[in-house]
């Protein structure tokens, strides 16, 4: 039973968990026994339709048979060599063929490592120290990222973490998302090595770039000889095969990837212009290394996932189901006269209550978090798992077919009419 496991876990882990957002499910998280397709099966015997999907990576759902077979095939050939393996060449070629800014790539093990390295590269390339990030963007759990961070950092009221050296903190400049005026001022007045941005904000709920924002970032960074880094850990291969940069046709200097490119196994990557990536050791003097970098299992799962994305209609199914779910939610909320904003793009969306627009982190934080949480809890009672935190995103996938969607709509109807 989840309750018993939770009691044990509280003795073993800080706050009972190994990543904080998991503790946002109340009164305690449900423990998952197994998963398949669009479903999670809990140890308490419940079946849940999953719209969290591992917080983004599982764009083909759980245990996609093709991916599973490719992982097993690799498993039977060994899962760590300490030397290069053919499968890393294959995944690199696939990613580079799809992501416009990618000429070369370095594989690491998480999105956190990827952004940490991209920032180091920007400093190494430009010889400058400062970086510019946006309020509420989340780039993982390293010192530079945890200044005004979104996601669980905001959920648990530590947007800027304790334990970050002032020296580091002082190298991070912050602007509000969608505020080009601020960016221009910072670039003019500070020596900025790189501007890092989520091209679509997926860690404050979902927030879209206003028309011209990403283009403006591209122009400004170019004119101040600052690197533009797109953090596509969520959007890479979710918005389309070419990521947010292809979707918006704005090409950054560096791109960080993670989540989907590992098919659900741990991964991260930094890709970009050859002249920048070549600064990495051993060809250059910006250091990175990792026991598990380009580990064969993550590589195999990544290749298999991208192969499925190339040949099947995953994007259509995922978009259609997110559309149906969010439209039904909108209609029901409007009928009830509830004030809300719903932001959506392709296969992801989020709803904010009590606010009429959400274009940056400050507005997102003004939304009625406890109302959102009530909706999450009531959906869970109806067998549908949406994120427990306002500051995460509802994700759909290629296995959220019409059968799953219909069951979801039934649940939403019940939840909203009974609110
Ligand atoms: C945009 C973005 N960047 C970086 C990260 C960090 O990735 P990871 O959790 O794999 O370290 C995340 C997600 O968690 C993310 O959403
Ligand atoms: N949006 C943030 C994440 O996806 C990270 C998952 C976690 O914090 O466990």
Convert the pLDDT of each residue in 328-352 to its tens digit: 999 999 999 999 999 999 999 999 9
What percentage of the chain exceeds 90 in pLDDT?
100
| Cα 141 to middle of ligand 1, angstroms | 8
* 285 and 336 within one domain: no
* Ligand 1 atom, smallest distance to 137 CA: 1
Handedness of CA 243, 246, 249, 251 (dihedral sign): positive
pLDDT for residue 119: 98
Residue 333 forms part of a structural domain: yes
Q: Which domain holds residue 99?
A: 65-310
C-alpha 209 chain-centroid distance: 16
Domain containing 155 — which CATH number?
A: 3.40.640.10
- Which of 310, 344, 366 is the last residue in one of the domains? 310
- Confidence band (pLDDT; 50, 70, 90) for 250? very high
Residues facing residue 393 across a β-bridge: none
Taking the centre of ligand 2 as the mean of its atom positions, its distance from the CA of residue 189, in whole angstroms, is: 33
Distance in Å, CA 410 to ligand 1 centroid: 32
Q: Is residue 1 part of a domain?
A: no
Residues 253-282 pLDDT 10s: 999 999 999 999 999 999 999 999 999 999
Give burial (CB, 10 Å; 0-12/13-18/19+) of 58: buried
Nearest protein Cα to ligand 1, atom 16:
234
Q: Does the predicted model carry a pTM greater than 0.80?
A: yes
Which residues partner with 280 through β-bridges? Answer: 286
Same domain, 264 and 326: no
- Strand positions, DSSP E, 325-403: 340-345, 348-353, 384-385, 394-395
Residue ending a domain, among 252, 287, 310, is 310
Question: Would you name the residues annotated as active-site residues?
Answer: 138, 231, 259
Same domain assignment for residues 243 and 320: no
Q: Is 231 in the pocket of ligand 1 (CB under 6 A)?
A: yes
pLDDT (tens digit per residue) in 122-176: 999 999 999 999 999 999 999 999 999 999 999 999 999 999 999 999 999 999 9
Number of independent structural domains in the chain:
2
The answer to whether residues 268 and 326 belong to one domain is no
Q: Please tell me the residue having the least CA distance from ligand 1 atom 4.
A: 139
* Nearest ligand, CA 54: 2
Domain end: 275, 310, 345, which one?
310
Are residues 356 and 273 part of one domain? no
Which of 163, 176, 166, 146 has the alpha carbon at shortest distance from 364? 176
- Structure ipTM: 0.99
Query: Is 201 a member of any domain?
Result: yes
């Amino acid at each position: 039973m989840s309750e018993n496991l939770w009691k044990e876990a509280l003795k073993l882990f800080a706050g009972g968990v190994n990543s904080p957002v998991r503790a946002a499910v109340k009164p305690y998280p449900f423990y998952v026994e197994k998963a398949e397709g669009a479903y999670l099966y809990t140890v308490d015997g419940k079946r849940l339709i999953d719209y969290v999907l591992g917080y983004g990576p599982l764009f083909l759902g759980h245990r996609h048979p093709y991916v599973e077979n490719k992982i097993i095939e690799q498993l039977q050939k060994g899962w760590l060599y300490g030397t290069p393996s053919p499968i890393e060449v294959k995944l690199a070629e696939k990613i580079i063929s799809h992501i416009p800014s990618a000429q070369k790539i370095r594989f690491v093990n998480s999105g956190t490592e990827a952004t940490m390295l991209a920032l180091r590269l920007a400093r190494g390339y430009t010889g400058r120290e400062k970086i510019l990030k946006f309020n509420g963007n989340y780039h993982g759990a390293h010192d530079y990222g945890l200044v005004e961070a979104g996601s669980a950092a905001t959920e648990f009221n530590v947007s800027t973490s304790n334990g970050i050296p002032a020296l580091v903190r002082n190298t991070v400049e912050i602007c509000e998302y969608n505020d080009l005026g601020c960016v221009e001022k910072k670039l003019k007045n500070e020596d900025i090595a790189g501007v890092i941005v989520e091209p679509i904000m997926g860690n404050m709920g979902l927030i879209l770039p206003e028309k011209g924002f990403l283009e403006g970032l591209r122009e400004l960074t170019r004119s101040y000889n600052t690197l533009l880094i797109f953090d596509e850990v969520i959007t890479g291969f979710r918005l389309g095969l070419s990521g947010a940069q292809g979707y918006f046709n704005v090409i950054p200097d560096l791109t960080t990837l993670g989540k989907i490119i590992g098919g659900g196994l741990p991964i991260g990557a930094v890709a970009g212009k050859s002249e920048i990536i070549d600064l990495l050791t051993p060809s250059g003097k910006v250091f990175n290394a990792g026991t598990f970098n380009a580990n064969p299992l993550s590589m195999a799962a990544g290749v298999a996932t991208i192969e499925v994305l190339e040949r099947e209609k995953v994007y259509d199914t995922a978009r259609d189901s997110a559309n149906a779910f969010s439209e039904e939610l909108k209609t029901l909320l409007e009928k009830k006269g509830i004030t809300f904003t719903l932001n959506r793009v392709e296969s992801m969306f989020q709803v904010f209550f009590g606010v009429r627009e959400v274009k940056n982190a400050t507005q997102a934080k003004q939304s009625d978090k406890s109302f959102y949480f009530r909706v999450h809890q009531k959906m869970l009672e109806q067998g549908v798992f949406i994120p427990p935190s306002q500051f995460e995103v509802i994700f759909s996938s290629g296995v959220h077919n019409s059968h799953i969607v219909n069951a979801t709509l039934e649940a939403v109807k019940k939840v909203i009419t009974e609110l």
